[in-house]
Structure formats: structure tokens, C-alpha cells
Structure 1
Amino acid sequence: MNYKCKVKISEVTNLSDARYAAAMGFNYIGFCFDNEKSNYIAPIKAKEMIDWLSGSNIVAEFGNQSIDEIKDISELLQVNAIEVENRILPDELKQLSKAAIKKIDVCSFSDEELLKELEAYQSVCDAFHLYNSKSYNENENFLKELCIKNNIIWNINCSPDTIKIIIEKYNPFAVNIVGEDEEEVGLKDFEVLNNLLEEITNSN
């Protein structure tokens, strides 16, 4: 598929989502190994799904796990990249020897603080996944500048109704979509996701 930017799906919990994402040419397929999240998946279950996939980069998504646990899981599953949302230091992140994505809640920082956070990790991160955990007023010029200077995976105020405008306005490196549960095993309605992809597909 010819998308206007790269596409990442995160927190995948079922094979239907995983195979759909691979078939549709998503660049990144993420599995959440943070057991405090509702979409946590056991590594052994994720491995069963990963074995079915090809063509996409597999991302192991972590929360407050230790550096050793992150290393063990990422090596067990032979993932292409790791995504972390914790206070792992840049030097520690570098030790993992994997492509790294730093996930950041923009609501936890002022613009100045966010800029410093990105600068601190810029040399060891391949991309930054920015999202908002609550209502967030976008500083348009500031965010445009971040997208110019960094590989931003965008998940701020993101919905099927806004995603086309977001891409045209900010031109991010990628957009992030969150996986959803199956209605029942093997049964999934992809209408919403199909409509979203129509919005970000180049017509030519």
C-alpha cells in the first residue's frame, strides 16, 4: 500500500490484527509486554503470532520493566525494535543493541521539557512515539518543528476523523494505531480500520 507516511499498529493481542497489519503493509507491528496494561500479551503467545508474520518490523513494547527483562524478551522473540515508556537512561538503552523507540506522554511535559527529553535520547533512539493521556492543546509550530527534526510516530489527538488533517499539517514520520480485541476468536470487523487507511492512502 502507498501510504502518506509509515504506519505502526500497537498493543496487538490477536492474530487477526497481526495478519491484517502485515497484509496491508504496515511498517511496524507492536506487542505490549507491560503487564500493567489491559492489552498486555504473554511473550509466548506473541511468539506464536510473530511466527505467522513477514514483511513488517516487529516491535516489543515495554513499560516499567527492568533492562534485563526487556533484553530477555526482545532476544527471545528476535524483534526488530523495542519501544520503552520508562526512565531507562540513554546509555542503558544503547546496550540493548536494537532499534529503539521512546514513547512519551506529551501531557507530562511543557514544550521546553519535551524538547530537552527528545534531545537527551536523540542519539540512541530511532523514533519517538508521542501520545496524549488527556486533553492536550497542540502548539502547532512547536510540533511541526519536532516532526522536522525527529522521526515522530504520531498518536496525539488521533482519530479516523483527524488523521488525514494531522498528516497534512505535521507530516510525521509515522502514525500509530492501537489494536482492538476480536469480537470472538477469528472474527474481526475491520471497517473502521479500512476507513482510516483510506484517509492516509495516496491516490496516485
Structure 2
Amino acid sequence: MLKTVVKISNVTNLSDARYCAGMGVEMLGFSIDEAAETYVDLKKFNDIRSWIAGVQIVAETELTEASLLLEKIERYQPNAIQISNAELLPWLKSETARPLILKVEADQDADTIEEIMVKNAPYVTYFLLESGSDTPLAGDWQDFLNTLSARFSILLGFGITTENATFLLDDVNISGIALRGGEEIRPGYKDFGDLMDVLEALEEE
């Protein structure tokens, strides 16, 4: 068992999926966008899904076209949906009962991030904060995260290390964390590296 909700993003292989499910990860995310480097086609997705149990499957997408997104959802049948385009949220909320995750870019000013969350809180289960530039958790970030987590359900997807993972849960009170999967060395062989270290740091004693 892990101490908090953990989502693994960009899962592309069975090794990651089985390891993370065995560790008690709550959500596994798969890109359903054909243009994405981490895209998982439907056959591979179903093959991986058939080997795992006890986790929520999240369809991750950057799509902005509602009809195409709905078609993908119907094909993949995920348990939850993660999007980046907040404008789709009211429509998605009316079309599906699945939990919705909104990915929010952390490399914006604090007022913009807070405004996005205030506006879209009625539609989402979690806000996923990610940083395209791997922003470190320094400066005012701790106080800002405390302010946000008191009002919104936050999955933190950047700046997480084995040293600060437990601290973030105890002192910042975020709802959970998000880590990223990686490529296999070859089928069935994987160096889990930092992913393993952080998950082990989050195991219940």
C-alpha cells in the first residue's frame, strides 16, 4: 500500500503497468493521441490492460476536437479521462460520468493557475500540475501549493524526489502525486530507476 494517491502518466509497456499495479498505484495513464511519442494503440492498450487489475485506467489526451475525443473514449473505454483543454470540460461532464482530470501547466503565473482551478473545479476530480521545464519545488512553491491544496484536489506532477515525497504529503497536504513511466530496455526488461525509488519511499511502513 502507498501513502497517497499515485498516478503514473505516459505508460507505454507492460513492465511499468504490472510493477506499478503491484505497488498499489491507483491510476495508470495511457496516451490515446496518435501524434504523441508515448501513444499506445488500441491493441497494445487492451493487451496491457488484460494483465493488470485493481487500478484505474486513464485516457490521456491533448485533443481539442470533441467528436474525435468521444470516438476515442468509446474505443478505449477508460475509467477516467485526462485532458489539457479546459474548454472541453462542460461538454465532457455532460457526456460521461467518468472522473475528469485537467492537466494544468505549472509554468504560468500563480494568478493564472488559480483562476483556471476556480473556473473548472465543478467539473474535475483532480487538477494535475505538470511543468514542461521541470520547475524545481523551490521558492514560493510550497506556500502556493498549500494555498491550492486547501481548496482543490491537486496531483503534483513535477519536482518530486525520494527526499521530498513524504514531506509533500505531510506538510503540503496535496491529494497525490503523478510520476511518469519510461521505455523498456527490451520487451520484459526495464530499469525502473527513480520511479521505483519514489514508490518505495511512499510505501506504508
TM-score by length of 2: 0.89
Percent identity of equivalent pairs? 28
Q: Secondary structure at the match of 1:193?
A: helix
CA distance in 1, matches of 2:115, 2:44: 37
Q: Which residue of 2 aligns with 1:171?
A: 173
Q: Which residue of 2 aligns with 1:120?
A: 119
Q: Kindly tell me the number of residue pairs found equivalent between the two proteins.
A: 201
C-alpha contact (below 8 Å) 2:63/2:69 kept by paired residues? no
Instruction: Tell me: CA distance 1:164–1:125, structure 2 relative to 1, closer, same or farther (3 Å).
Output: same
Q: Which residue of 2 aligns with 1:188?
A: 190
Task: Map residues 1-204 of structure 1 onto 2, 5 A cutoff.
Answer: 1=1, 3-97=2-96, 98-107=98-107, 109-134=108-133, 135=135, 137-203=139-205
CA distance in 2, matches of 1:127, 1:87: 13
Instruction: Tell me: CA distance 1:138–1:37, structure 2 relative to 1, closer, same or farther (3 Å).
Output: farther
Pairwise CA distance, 1:191: 4.8
Q: Secondary structure at the match of 1:149?
A: coil
Q: Which amino acid aligns with 2:31?
A: C
Pairwise CA distance, 1:67: 1.6
Q: Which amino acid aligns with 1:199?
A: A
Deviates more, 1:130-139 or 1:14-23: 130-139
CA distance in 1, matches of 2:120, 2:87: 10
C-alpha contact (below 8 Å) 1:147/1:172 kept by paired residues? yes
Pairwise CA distance, 1:23: 1.6
Q: Which amino acid aligns with 2:142?
A: E
C-alpha contact (below 8 Å) 1:5/1:172 kept by paired residues? no
C-alpha contact (below 8 Å) 2:10/2:29 kept by paired residues? yes
C-alpha contact (below 8 Å) 2:126/2:155 kept by paired residues? yes
RMSD: 1.8
CA distance in 2, matches of 1:159, 1:37: 26
Pairwise CA distance, 1:106: 1.3
C-alpha contact (below 8 Å) 1:90/1:120 kept by paired residues? no
CA distance in 2, matches of 1:113, 1:190: 35
Q: Secondary structure at the match of 2:28?
A: strand
Deviates more, 1:172-181 or 1:140-149: 140-149
CA distance in 2, matches of 1:166, 1:22: 22
Q: Secondary structure at the match of 1:141?
A: helix
Pairwise CA distance, 1:193: 3.0
CA distance in 1, matches of 2:11, 2:95: 23
CA distance in 2, matches of 1:112, 1:192: 32
Q: Secondary structure at the match of 2:150?
A: helix
Q: Which amino acid aligns with 1:180?
A: G
The gaps in structure 2 that reach 5 residues or longer are: none
Moved over 6 A (4+): none
TM-score by length of 1: 0.89
Instruction: Tell me: CA distance 1:75–1:138, structure 2 relative to 1, closer, same or farther (3 Å).
Output: farther
The gaps in structure 1 that reach 5 residues or longer are: none
